[in-house]
Structure 1
Amino acid sequence: MAELLWKRGTTLGQGSFSVVSLASTSNALFRGCFSIVEILRMFKHSPYIIHCFGANVSFENNVNLYNLLLKYAFGGSLADLLQNCNSLPEVEVKKHTKNVLLGLCCIHNNGIIHCDTKPGNILLVGRDKTAKIADFGLSVTLEQGMNQKQGVIRGTERYMAPESVINTEYTPQVDIWALGCTVYELITGTRLWEDANGDDVLDKIKFEEPKFQNSKLSNEAQDFLEKCLVKNPSSCWTADLLLNHPFLKKKSGSMSLLHKPIQKITFKIGNHKFVRQLPNPTNR
């Protein structure tokens, strides 16, 4: 097994379970051995998912460190962007939302659920600051999501979907709910359930309807959120459908050429075949 040679540099940030550092490399031959790397390899050709070069284990300061070598996002995350300017112009949010949806289409069509979509996990890469989905540490397959009912809650509280909080149920719709929370936050500068913390947030997610009326939201943006923040997951729009929502279309009203609306989706888990009927995107 060829090893990717690299050297750790300046620490960029630190989360609950990991540290992010700059690194320099001298080759790119390493074949990773972690499941998260295998997931990322599935999306190596997607321009809307952070690129992973490989992984390894290093022993530093008497501690084993599990290292993922990722594309450097010098633009930071959408969370960083919000800290600097409080809220973003709607036209900029549309650009980022479209890129995230394209990433989610790729993820969901490959049978994966991200489970932690939020501003902090959407990185801005390159000179044009393309939004790319990162941090697949909580991701599950569709099959795992259907068999998840073991009391394990995945994700970040404020962005969790009702079905994951109530039943620990995970389908692609949990990512769509989280995207809705993210879009609301980017445009308004206010988090959904802003008046609650900790367990109070989970109680509101369980028992209350989200209130996302805000003067900063256009009619199209509010309607887009209504298609994402649906407490009944079977009524939630898919990433494919949302790409054709008027919120993301040009003002000319021309149809988006990115994705063609679909009316149903079929997927198979084990010996079971599932067919899900989708709402007509023209029925707003």
Structure 2
Amino acid sequence: MTTTADSATSTPGKETAPPPPGNAGSPPRARRRLGPGRPIPFSWAIGPLLLLAVWSIGSATGWIDERNLSAPWQVVTTAQDLIERGRLQDDLWASAQRALLGLAFGIAVGLVLAVLAGLSRIGEGVIDGPVQIKRSIPSLALIPLLILWFGIGESMKVITIALGVLVPIYIHTHNGLRTIDSRYVELAETVRLSRTAFLRHVVLPGALPGFLLGLRFAVTSAWLSLVVVEQVNATDGIGYMMELARTYGQTDVIIVGLVVYGLLGLASDGLVRLVQRRALSWRRTLAD
């Protein structure tokens, strides 16, 4: 008596194909992720915490000479003393005012120049060249000339910060405008959008990613410029506090100033990234 399975296998002209090797009885292979993976909560703090751990271990074991780099606990004690005397708050407020003024002026001027150069061939010919020249000249190299023009007061300090902010805002916003898909412009012309509607519906969304990227660089540049200008005949500010500490060999006070600058830069960048994430929530990128 022939079974159904035997008859199926013995049917002339019909051969059953063997199963693919490696697949019989094995679960389906999981898809391999090629991206960076899911976001890690508070990943921005991993690097600073590791740096702090190395610093603490080095100070506790004697690998780091406290004459060259004060221990973290000594820096905390010094910061508490400066806060109790009110000195740190006053200097921090003076530094924040300079940085915010320079940042505001630099963003405004850089944005206007980028729009003029990005939407006009004549504007690009007039503006882009000088800005590219300025890009190759560090703002700090202009300090001697700015001192001759504006003196050693607050104007020179704010203008130096603004010049450092202007370039990244212009470069990235201008690039964002130039990379807008030309089909959107043609569509706007076809539906006869007004100049105001064109700026609002095409130019602004197209330039926003570049502007926010430039803003991240601009915020960092503002703090970098502030470090230097506050050491030029300043009477207050974090930089002045550090310069005075250098005169008296107070390493712990210098480290306090550096930590404050680092925290300000980290907080500013985090704020801009938060705005960037919310403003560009319609995009799907590897960072999501």
TM-score using structure 2 length: 0.23
| Between structures 1 and 2, the one with greater strand share | 1
Q: Which has the higher contact order (CA 8 A, sep 6+)?
A: 2
| Between structures 1 and 2, the one with greater helix share | 2
